[in-house]
């Protein structure tokens, strides 16, 4: 059967071209010396939102209540939307003719740059919400700082994402407080989730040469500078939620940003990438 | 684990400034604040609104369907109650 002419693709291409033409000129995108670090850093931003977005999307159809199911799916879609922007810019910086989709679907686990926190399994709602809250608090302060980036392209993406992430943080904080300060069972589960996730939360603030390079270029903030604001947000919410901040170190589990992942990432990628690996270029 | 249902809320959304809030549906939520958050997620994904009202369904008093006759029938065959029998001067334009 002859297939119908594709009516949508030319429009999308035209739209992308006009959007590209309207984009601010950004010398950082063509900066050869900066390229390896800038590319890596953009992958970190995009991989965090991709992997956490995928994790949260696993709840779709399984949420504890219809309303919560939809809210989680919305959050997942927001995050995957951010991925498209971050990895799109990453592909542009890399300038090897790849696209955001190529980066998302054709990279292996060792090339992924997300925080280990993002890839941890959903567990119950307590783990899912606590993981999201710890990430949202960082994401919010990070994007706020990035709206003042020396790179206009980065600042534009941050401004767009920040509107959605402000709501994510509001929602996850609210639920952490409700469940932490809820019934005996919900309190116990939230505390358990916090104790389990806490040792993964410190990776957000452990800077390496990539973070230093983008910070020196004025593209991103110095990670350590974000920590006090994150700490304050987290402590305020935990106090209201009657939860106890764990005593132990927060940076026990790290390495995701350098491509050292937990055993969970491989399973996520197997599910996420299967179609493109089995049927390269398949589209609908 | 006890399974307690959240109460039902009726959701009203104002589509644009200047328009009335319109009933769009209902949802479950433990309190008003969460009802607004849920309404945002369930009913305004496509930029439908500029304002949300939520009302506990239990707070709405509805007319009984069995009262339909006494309530609405007297208005039947009283077409003169529609203001369509006036000649509108041309200068008024479209009304």
Separation in Å, CA A135 to CA A18, A25, A30, A128, B46: 34, 31, 31, 11, 26
Domain range for B63 is: 8-84
Interchain contact, B45 vs A74, CB within 8 Å? yes
B74 domain residue, yes or no: yes
Domain assignments of chain A as residue spans, ordered by start = 30-278
pLDDT of residue B67: 84
Tell if the CB–CB gap between B37 and A66 is shorter than 8 Å. Answer: no
- Where is pLDDT greater, at B88 or A169? A169
Average pLDDT, chain A: 93
Q: Do A171 and B37 touch (CB under 8 A)?
A: yes
Measured between CA atoms, the residue of chain B closest to residue A182 is B30
How many structural domains is chain B composed of?
1
The pLDDT of residue B4 is above 80: no
Whether A6 has a pLDDT exceeding 70, the answer reads no
Residues from chain B that touch A74, judged by Cβ atoms under 8 A, are 41, 45
The CATH code of the domain that includes B46 is 3.10.20.520
Nearest CA in chain A to B37: A171
Task: Indicate yes or no: CB of B41 within 8 angstroms of CB of A178.
Answer: no
Residue A20: pLDDT band with limits 50, 70, 90: low
The residue ranking higher by pLDDT, A114 or B17, is: A114
Tens digits of per-residue pLDDT, A227-244? 999 999 999 999 999 999
Range in A32-41, A157-166, A198-207, B40-49 the model is least confident about: B40-49
B12 CA: distance to closest CA in chain A (Å): 16
Interchain pair B42, A171: CB under 8 A: no
Question: Most B CBs within 10 Å: which of A59, A64, A67, as the mutation test of the B interface?
Answer: A67
Full-model pTM = 0.86
Residue B3 lies in a domain: no
pLDDT at site B74: 81
Q: Is B36 on the interface with A (CB under 8 A)?
A: no
If you write DSSP's letter for every residue of chain B in order, what string do you get? ---PPPPEEEEEEE-STTSPEEEEEEEE-SSHHHHHHHHHHHH-TTS--SEEEEEEGGG-----GGGHHHHHGGGTT-GGGSS-SSPPPGGG---
What class, spelled out in words, does domain A30-278 have in CATH?
A: mainly alpha
């Amino acid at each position: 059967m002859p297939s119908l002419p594709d009516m949508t693709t030319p429009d999308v291409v035209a739209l992308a071209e006009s959007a590209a033409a309207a984009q601010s000129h950004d010398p950082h995108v063509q900066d050869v010396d900066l390229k390896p670090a800038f590319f890596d850093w953009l992958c970190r931003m995009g991989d965090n939102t991709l992997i956490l977005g995928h994790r949260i999307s696993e709840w779709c159809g399984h949420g504890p209540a219809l309303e919560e199911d939809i809210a989680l799916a919305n959050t997942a879609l927001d995050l995957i939307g951010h991925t498209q922007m971050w990895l799109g810019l990453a592909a542009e910086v890399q300038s090897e003719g790849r696209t955001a989709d190529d980066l998302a679907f054709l990279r292996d686990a060792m090339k992924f740059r997300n925080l280990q926190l993002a890839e941890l399994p959903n567990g119950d709602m307590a783990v899912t919400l606590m993981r999201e809250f710890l990430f949202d608090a960082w994401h919010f302060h990070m994007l706020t700082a990035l709206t003042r980036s020396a790179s206009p392209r980065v600042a534009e993406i941050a401004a767009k994402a920040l509107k959605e992430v402000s709501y994510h943080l509001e929602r996850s904080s609210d639920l952490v407080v409700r469940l932490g300060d809820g019934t005996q069972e919900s309190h116990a589960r939230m505390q358990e989730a916090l104790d389990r996730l806490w040792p993964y939360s410190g990776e957000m603030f452990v800077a390496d040469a990539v973070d230093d390079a983008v910070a020196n270029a004025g593209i991103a903030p110095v990670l350590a500078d974000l920590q006090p604001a994150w700490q304050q947000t987290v402590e305020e919410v935990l106090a209201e939620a009657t939860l106890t901040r764990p005593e132990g170190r927060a940076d026990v589990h790290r390495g995701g940003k350098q491509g050292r992942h937990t055993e969970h990432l491989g399973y996520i990628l197997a599910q996420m990438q299967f179609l493109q690996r089995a049927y390269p270029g398949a589209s609908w | 684990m006890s399974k307690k249902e959240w109460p039902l809320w009726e959701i009203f959304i104002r589509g644009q400034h200047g328009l009335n809030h319109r009933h769009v549906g209902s949802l479950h939520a433990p309190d008003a604040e969460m009802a607004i958050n849920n309404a945002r997620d369930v009913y305004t994904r496509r930029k439908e609104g500029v304002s949300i009202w939520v009302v506990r369904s239990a707070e709405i008093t509805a007319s009984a369907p069995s009262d339909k006759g006494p309530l609405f029938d007297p208005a039947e065959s009283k077409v003169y109650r529609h203001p369509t029998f006036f000649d509108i001067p041309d200068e008024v334009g479209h009304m």
